[in-house]
Amino acid sequence: MNSKQENLIKNLIENSKKINSRVFNLNRYMILALTFYIKDGLQFRELKALLNVSDGKLQSDLDNLKEMGYIQKIKVDLDNKKLQYT
């Protein structure tokens, strides 16, 4: 490995400490990516099926992202049913 590669790796490791670990995990990253690409929103059950996670884990991830302002929940009435979209 040359010195340029070593410096790049060193900078990557040092800068990775600045990343917010509450956001930087695979499930939360996927939730953010899905909400970015699917503009109409996603229901909880859709996210659960796509990510293949438990209800508790998904709810925890959604709550953390909402608390930090990355996502919002929107309540919709459809055919006399109350739905929440993310």
Q: For the domain bounded by 3-85, which CATH number is listed?
A: 1.10.10
Statement: the pTM of the whole predicted model exceeds 0.85? no
Instruction: Report the distance separating Cα 59 and Cα 79, nearest Å.
Output: 25
Instruction: Report the distance separating Cα 56 and Cα 80, nearest Å.
Output: 26
Residue numbers of the chain with a pLDDT score lower than 70: 1, 16, 21-23, 81-86
How confident is the model over 69-86, as pLDDT tens digits? 888 877 777 777 666 655
Whether residue 43 contacts residue 84, with contact meaning beta carbons closer than 8 Å, is answered with: yes
